[in-house]
Amino acid sequence: DQQVKQNSPSLSVQEGRISILNCDYTNSMFDYFLWYKKYPAEGPTFLISISSIKDKNEDGRFTVFLNKSAKHLSLHIVPSQPGDSAVYFCAASTPPGYALNFGKGTSLLVTP
């Protein structure tokens, strides 16, 4: 049973515009959320995280928003650059360990 869902398998955005990647989860016990980026033939790399006590976290061009009541989080990339083209995975975990539950990923294509 997929507890973390990324319902958009792919997204295409023009360079300079905003990319919004969405993620929904079903387990209300999740309290830590992460986004990873993955290029072909490489492992995922950590991008940004947010704990459930916050509703927003920023790191440069990347911002993650968390709506706990809706069990929804989103990743905003502004402005989008061609180098951002990759597969983005949303993940969630519960304490005390951190067995990450991943979504299936969204493939982002940023076109010049």
Partner 1 sequence: KAGVTQTPRYLIKTRGQQVTLSCSPISGHRSVSWYQQTPGQGLQFLFEYFSETQRNKGNFPGRFSGRQFSNSRSEMNVSTLELGDSALYLCASSLTAGDPDTQYFGPGTRLTVL
Q: Are strands 32-38 and 45-51 parallel, antiparallel or unpaired?
A: antiparallel
**Single residue of 14, 17, 28, 46 touching partner 1 by CB under 8 A:** 46
Q: Name which of 22 and 101 has its Cβ closer to partner 1.
A: 101
Segment 53 to 82, residues that bind partner 1, using CB under 8 A: none
Compute the distance between CA of residue 37 and CA of residue 87 in angstroms, rounded to an integer: 6
Q: Should residue 100 be labelled a site residue for partner 1 when binding is judged by CB under 8 A? A: yes
In angstroms, give the least distance from the CB of 84 to partner 1: 18
**Single residue of 32, 62, 72, 107 touching partner 1 by CB under 8 A:** 32
What type of residue is 38?
K
Compute the distance between CA of residue 80 and CA of residue 17 in angstroms, rounded to an integer: 6
**Single residue of 45, 67, 81, 111 touching partner 1 by CB under 8 A:** 45
Q: Which two tokens stand for residue 58?
A: 């920023």
Q: Name which of 73 and 80 has its Cβ closer to partner 1.
A: 73
Instruction: Indicate left, alpha or beta for 3 from its phi (over 0: left) and psi (-120 to 50: alpha).
Output: alpha
Q: Name which of 27 and 49 has its Cβ closer to partner 1.
A: 49
